[in-house]
A and B are shown apart, each in its own frame.
Chain A
Amino acid sequence: MSIIQDFNGFSPTWCPGCGNWAIGVAIKSALVQLNFNPSQVMAVFGVGCSGNMNDFLNAYAVHSLHGRAIPTAIGMKIANHKLPVIVVAGDGDCYGEGGNHLIHACRGNHDITVIVHDNRVYGLTTGQAAPTAAKGFKSKSTPFGMIEKPLNPLMIAIGQGATFVAQTFAGDPGHMIEIIKAGIRHKGFSLINVLQPCVTFNKIYGYQYYLERIYKLQPDYKPEDKGAALKKATEADEEKFPLGIIYQAQSPSFHEQLSRLKEDRPLLQKEPFQAFDLLLKEFI
Chain B
Amino acid sequence: MSKFLWKIGGEAGFGIMTTGLNFSKVASRSGYQILDYVEYPSLIRGGHNAYEVTVADEPVNSLSSTIDYLVCLNKETFERNKKKLIPASIVVYDQSSFTIEENCIRVNLPINDILKESKGQIIMANTIALGASLALLDGDQTILNGLLKEEFGKKGNEIVRFNQQFAEKGFDYIKNNYPQFIKPVLHKKNNEEKLVMTGNEAFSLGAVAADCRFYAAYPMTPASSVLTDLAAWQERTGMVVRHAEDEIAVINSAIGASFAGVRSAVGTSGGGFALMTETVSLAGITETSLVIFIAQRPGPATGMPTWTEQGDLLFSVHAGHGEFPKIVLAPGDHEEMFELTLKAFDLADIYQTPVIILSDMLLSESHRTLSKVKIECLIKAYQANRGKLINHAEGKYLRYKLSNDGISERLVPGAEGQFYQANSYEHLEDGHTTEESLRRREQVDKRNAKIKTYLANHFQPPKVYGDLEKAQTVFVSWGSTKGVISDILDGSTSLIHFNHVYPLDERKIRPLFKPGKRYVLVENNSQGQFGKLLRQETGIEVGEKILKYDGRPIGREEIIKRL
Known: A9-B432, A60-B413. A78 touches B208 (CB 8 A): no
Alpha-carbon distance between A261 and B205 when the two chains are bound, in angstroms: 21
Residues in A neighbouring B197, C-beta threshold 8 A:
283
Interface hub of B209, B216, B423 (most chain A Cβ within 10 A): B423
B210 to chain A, nearest CB (A): 9
Check: A38 CB closer than 8 A to any chain B CB. yes
Alpha-carbon distance between A270 and B197 when the two chains are bound, in angstroms: 28
Check: B486 CB closer than 8 A to any chain A CB. no
Residues in B neighbouring A75, C-beta threshold 8 A:
214, 216, 252-260, 264
The interface of chain B, by Cβ under 8 A from chain A, is 25, 28-29, 193-197, 201, 205, 208-209, 211, 213-214, 216, 233-240, 242, 244-246, 248-250, 252-262, 264, 278-279, 282, 286, 370, 372, 375-376, 379, 384, 412-425, 432-433
Check: A260 CB closer than 8 A to any chain B CB. yes
Alpha-carbon distance between A267 and B238 when the two chains are bound, in angstroms: 8
Alpha-carbon distance between A80 and B238 when the two chains are bound, in angstroms: 14
Q: A-B pairs with CB below 8 Å: how many? A: 192
Task: Considering the complex, give the chain B residue whose CB is closest to the CB of A107.
Answer: B245
The contact sample of 17 A-B pairs, CB cut-off 8 A, is: A39-B416, A40-B414, A44-B256, A47-B424, A61-B422, A63-B425, A64-B252, A65-B424, A76-B256, A78-B214, A101-B245, A260-B240, A267-B238, A270-B238, A273-B237, A276-B376, A283-B370
Check A267–B255 contact: CB distance below 8 A.
Answer: no
Residues in A neighbouring B260, C-beta threshold 8 A:
42, 75-76, 79-80, 268
Find residues 123-149 in chain A having any chain B CB closer than 8 Å to their own CB.
none
Check B253–A284 contact: CB distance below 8 A.
Answer: no
Contact of B195 among A62, A104, A283 (CB under 8 A): A283
Residues in B neighbouring A234, C-beta threshold 8 A:
none
What would 10 more interface pairs be, CB under 8 Å, given A52-B433, A75-B259, A283-B195?
A38-B419, A39-B414, A39-B419, A54-B423, A63-B421, A71-B244, A75-B216, A273-B208, A273-B236, A284-B195
Task: Considering the complex, give the chain A residue whose CB is closest to the CB of B240.
Answer: A78
Alpha-carbon distance between A118 and B214 when the two chains are bound, in angstroms: 33
Residues in B neighbouring A104, C-beta threshold 8 A:
244-245, 249
Check A62–B422 contact: CB distance below 8 A.
Answer: yes
Contact of B256 among A59, A63, A74, A258 (CB under 8 A): A74
Alpha-carbon distance between A39 and B25 when the two chains are bound, in angstroms: 53
Task: Considering the complex, give the chain B residue whose CB is closest to the CB of A268.
Answer: B261
Residues in A neighbouring B234, C-beta threshold 8 A:
260
Check: A219 CB closer than 8 A to any chain B CB. no
Contact of B213 among A59, A71, A270, A283 (CB under 8 A): A270
Interface hub of B208, B254, B414, B415 (most chain A Cβ within 10 A): B414
Alpha-carbon distance between A249 and B239 when the two chains are bound, in angstroms: 29
Check A79–B256 contact: CB distance below 8 A.
Answer: yes
Total A residues in contact with B, Cβ cutoff 8 Å: 54
Check B432–A72 contact: CB distance below 8 A.
Answer: no
Alpha-carbon distance between A9 and B428 when the two chains are bound, in angstroms: 13
Check: A190 CB closer than 8 A to any chain B CB. no
Check B238–A71 contact: CB distance below 8 A.
Answer: no
A48 to chain B, nearest CB (A): 12
Contact of B259 among A62, A71, A278 (CB under 8 A): A62
A150 to chain B, nearest CB (A): 23
A13 to chain B, nearest CB (A): 10
B542 to chain A, nearest CB (A): 37
Which 10 A/B pairs are nearest by Cβ-Cβ distance?
A75-B256, A60-B413, A79-B260, A75-B253, A75-B257, A71-B252, A61-B421, A71-B249, A104-B245, A72-B256
Interface hub of B29, B196, B413 (most chain A Cβ within 10 A): B413
B292 to chain A, nearest CB (A): 14
Check: A10 CB closer than 8 A to any chain B CB. yes
Residues in B neighbouring A63, C-beta threshold 8 A:
421-425, 433
Check B248–A42 contact: CB distance below 8 A.
Answer: no
Alpha-carbon distance between A111 and B513 when the two chains are bound, in angstroms: 57
Alpha-carbon distance between A59 and B201 when the two chains are bound, in angstroms: 39
Known: A75-B255, A104-B249. A280 touches B372 (CB 8 A): yes
Task: Considering the complex, give the chain A residue whose CB is closest to the CB of B242.
Answer: A78
Residues in B neighbouring A40, C-beta threshold 8 A:
414
Check B213–A267 contact: CB distance below 8 A.
Answer: yes
Task: Considering the complex, give the chain B residue whose CB is closest to the CB of A9.
Answer: B432
Check B236–A278 contact: CB distance below 8 A.
Answer: yes
Alpha-carbon distance between A197 and B490 when the two chains are bound, in angstroms: 76
Alpha-carbon distance between A65 and B424 when the two chains are bound, in angstroms: 7
Contact of B257 among A10, A78, A278 (CB under 8 A): A78
Residues in A neighbouring B256, C-beta threshold 8 A:
44, 62, 71-79
Alpha-carbon distance between A270 and B214 when the two chains are bound, in angstroms: 12
Alpha-carbon distance between A260 and B194 when the two chains are bound, in angstroms: 31
Task: Considering the complex, give the chain A residue whose CB is closest to the CB of B235.
Answer: A259
Contact of B372 among A61, A72, A260, A284 (CB under 8 A): A284
Residues in A neighbouring B240, C-beta threshold 8 A:
78, 258, 260-261, 267
Alpha-carbon distance between A270 and B422 when the two chains are bound, in angstroms: 24
Check: A58 CB closer than 8 A to any chain B CB. yes
Residues in B neighbouring A68, C-beta threshold 8 A:
248-249, 252, 278-279, 282
Alpha-carbon distance between A72 and B422 when the two chains are bound, in angstroms: 12
Task: Considering the complex, give the chain B residue whose CB is closest to the CB of A284.
Answer: B193
A93 to chain B, nearest CB (A): 12
Task: Considering the complex, give the chain A residue whose CB is closest to the CB of B233.
Answer: A279
Interface hub of B254, B256, B379, B415 (most chain A Cβ within 10 A): B256
Contact of A273 among B25, B194, B211, B422 (CB under 8 A): B211
